[in-house]
């Protein structure tokens, strides 16, 4: 009788372990969605994802001499929750990471505001995805969805000759991402020892 009970317990333990293994291998529900082999569907719920940081008026090249400065834009960065949780554990981005760069115009004259700037209309939406099987050799790809009249529901990956690829290869702090601009993740990467040399 004891042997029978032991076999039942072991069987249940095996089933539980198998179930956990299957769940661990499943694609997360917030993973990138495609309409073809490489064409990405625009993330619709990204504002419910994890907010990483915001920049104001950032640019990666020197301003053109004599050019009229335009009002600075805000850039908001969101990441899918499953990728964020994995980064917190390991200091690196897992496969199926989705980062959204939301660019918004800024205003200063509205309501009771007297100083500073606030976010206004959506100016552009860009996405960076890590999908090792679809985008060799490093798994990263960039997508531009536009905004307003130019907004699209799907987008193909930008060509590998686009500036994004070279810039992210040369200047990012962790993997292919600008973690140096995300203060909470920067500290995690320091603790995990995953920062690139120079950071």
pLDDT attached to residue 26: 52
Say if CB 172 and CB 196 are below 8 A apart: yes
Model confidence, pTM: 0.84
pLDDT attached to residue 19: 38
Kindly report, residue by residue over 177-197, the tens digit of the pLDDT.
999 999 999 999 999 999 999
Neighbours of 180 (CB within 10 A): 17
**For 103-138, b where at least 16 C-beta lie within 10 A, e where not — what string?**
bbbbeeeeeeeeeebebeeebbbbbbbbbeeebeee
DSSP assignment of 59-71 equals -SSPPPTTPPPPP
The domains of the chain, with CATH numbers, are: 29-59+70-192 (3.50.70.20)
Kindly report, residue by residue over 21-50, the tens digit of the pLDDT.
433 445 679 999 999 999 999 999 999 999
């Amino acid at each position: 009788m004891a042997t029978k009970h032991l076999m039942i317990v072991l069987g249940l333990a095996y089933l539980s372990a198998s179930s956990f293994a299957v769940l661990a291998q499943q694609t997360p529900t917030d993973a990138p969605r495609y309409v073809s082999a490489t064409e990405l569907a625009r993330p619709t719920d990204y504002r419910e994802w994890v907010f990483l940081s915001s920049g104001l008026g950032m640019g990666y090249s020197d301003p053109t001499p004599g050019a009229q400065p335009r009002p600075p834009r805000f850039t908001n960065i969101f990441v899918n929750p499953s990728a964020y949780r994995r980064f917190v554990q390991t200091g690196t981005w897992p496969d199926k990471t989705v980062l959204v760069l939301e660019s918004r115009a800024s205003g200063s004259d509205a309501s009771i505001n007297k100083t500073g700037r606030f976010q206004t209309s959506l100016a552009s939406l860009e996405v960076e995805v890590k999908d090792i099987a679809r985008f060799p050799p490093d798994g990263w790809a960039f997508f531009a969805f536009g905004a307003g009249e130019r907004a699209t529901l799907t987008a193909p990956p930008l060509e590998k000759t686009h500036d994004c690829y070279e810039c992210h290869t040369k200047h990012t702090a962790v993997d292919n991402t600008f973690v140096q601009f995300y203060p909470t993740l920067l500290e995690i990467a320091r603790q995990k020892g995953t920062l690139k040399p120079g950071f």
